[in-house]
Amino acid sequence: MNVPLLISELSRDEGIRLKPYTDSVGKITIGIGRNLTDKGISREEAYHLLNNDIDEVIGELDKRLPWWRRLDDVRQRVLANMAFNLGITKLLTFERTLASIMLGSFGDAATEMLQSQWAKEVGPRAQRLAQMMRIGLAPEEMS
């Protein structure tokens, strides 16, 4: 079978939608006819999407906070985790937190993180990330 031709035909017949929508029979659908309601996505597809999203987050951090690359790996991961969760625009509203990080005042940054509305919303995630920011180690590295 000519798979490239089938792809072209399905693209024409199904259309391509880059955001979820409800199809003509009430199924949540995305892409070129992917029925998310019944089929969902595979684990491999989920990690493929995650890797794309991580690349985007890193690109945004590089563009908007170029100094973040001077941080150690653990604190870079904290910022990337927060940017992934919040989006870069919302992360940039953490002005005191970011100023403290940039100055190397990681304890102050952790305190600021925990005093945010975000910390109330994400609970244990904020506690874990603030601890990583404060001491420069991930929980699995603390034993």
pLDDT category at 143 given cuts 50, 70, 90 is low
Q: Cα–Cα–Cα angle for 27, 32, 37, nearest 5°?
A: 25
Q: Are 127 and 114 in contact (CB under 8 A)?
A: yes
> Quick one: which H or E segment has residue 30?
strand 28-31
The model's pLDDT over 31-71, given as tens digits with 9 standing for 90+, comes to: 999 999 999 999 999 999 999 999 999 999 999 999 999 99
Where in the chain are the domains?
Answer: 65-134
For domain 65-134, give its CATH number from 3.30.70.141, 1.10.530.40, 3.40.50.300, 2.60.40.1250.
1.10.530.40
What pLDDT score does 142 carry?
72
pTM: 0.89
